[in-house]
Structure 1
């Protein structure tokens, strides 16, 4: 019996960034359920924790890697957009823009009207207002 468990765990996917974030989210929902005593938080917490454990113990590596790549791309895009929003709020001389294809941050001078920007990373061109 111990060998079966050991072999099953040997070929399982393991704990990655998405599983870690799901596990943390589940614990946050669980603590919220304990503090507020609202049962919906408890059900959501158990559901999220089960999803996290299923990902960790899964044998479908390619599917989990695709999910992780999608998640990391979403996280990166969100971080870039918030960073650009923060930079645009505090820097009045330049406007910060993210390339639509590669999310590379670029800086253009303000009050230049409509300009065509070429991304230095992927060479894509698009028109924007500065």
Structure 2
């Protein structure tokens, strides 16, 4: 059965971003129709669903590709805002995990002269630390 479906879809457009958008619109409109019982909204949901499947089954791939690219260009700023927020959250999370792991292995000191952050290995006892920035030496316990 899987091979038959794969053979059927050869040369067809398939699900792209615009087709998925129309599927989501149809889903939202169907949910609204459940509560409002409005025939016009229901017809819009059916039309959106039909158009989405038309795009997926279309053999005119170049035209569907062009339409999808226009849709992606129009929604680029909105998608970047959502993508940026999630990427920023992932970065913050990975940074926190990295810092936690570093605190297990290293001790962080600040140079008394230039306030440069200096990382030294833990468990070495009293050591002489040389600031890489200003070359000042000071003694600390790790």
User: Structure 1 residues 7 and 41 mapped into 2: Cα distance closer, same or farther (>3 Å)?
Assistant: same
Q: Which residue of 1 aligns with 2:137?
A: none
TM-score under structure 1 length normalisation: 0.54
Could you list the structure 1 runs, at least 4 aligned residues long, displaced by more than 4 angstroms after superposition: 3-6, 77-80
Post-superposition shift, 1:73? 0.7
**Structure 2 SS opposite 1:12:** coil
Aligned pairs for 1:80-99 (under 5 A) are none
Answering whether residue 44 of structure 2 is matched by residue 44 of structure 1, we say: yes
Q: Structure 2: how far apart are the matches of 1:11 and 1:31?
A: 33
**Structure 2 SS opposite 1:63:** helix
Q: Structure 2: how far apart are the matches of 1:68 and 1:27?
A: 20
Post-superposition shift, 1:8? 3.4
What is the RMSD of the two structures over their aligned residues, measured on CA atoms? 2.4
**Structure 2 SS opposite 1:72:** helix
**Structure 1 SS opposite 2:13:** coil
Structure 1 spans left out of the alignment, 5+ residues = 81-130
Answering whether residue 79 of structure 2 is matched by residue 58 of structure 1, we say: no
1:79-112 deviation per Cα after TM superposition (whole angstroms, max 9, x unaligned) = 67xxxxxxxxxxxxxxxxxxxxxxxxxxxxxxxx
**Structure 1 SS opposite 2:59:** coil
Specify which structure has the higher proportion of helix. Answer: 2
TM-score under structure 2 length normalisation: 0.50
Q: Structure 1: how far apart are the matches of 2:76 and 2:9?
A: 31
Q: Which moved more, 1:6-15 or 1:54-63?
A: 6-15
Q: Structure 1: how far apart are the matches of 2:4 and 2:28?
A: 33
Q: Which residue of 2 aligns with 1:68?
A: 68
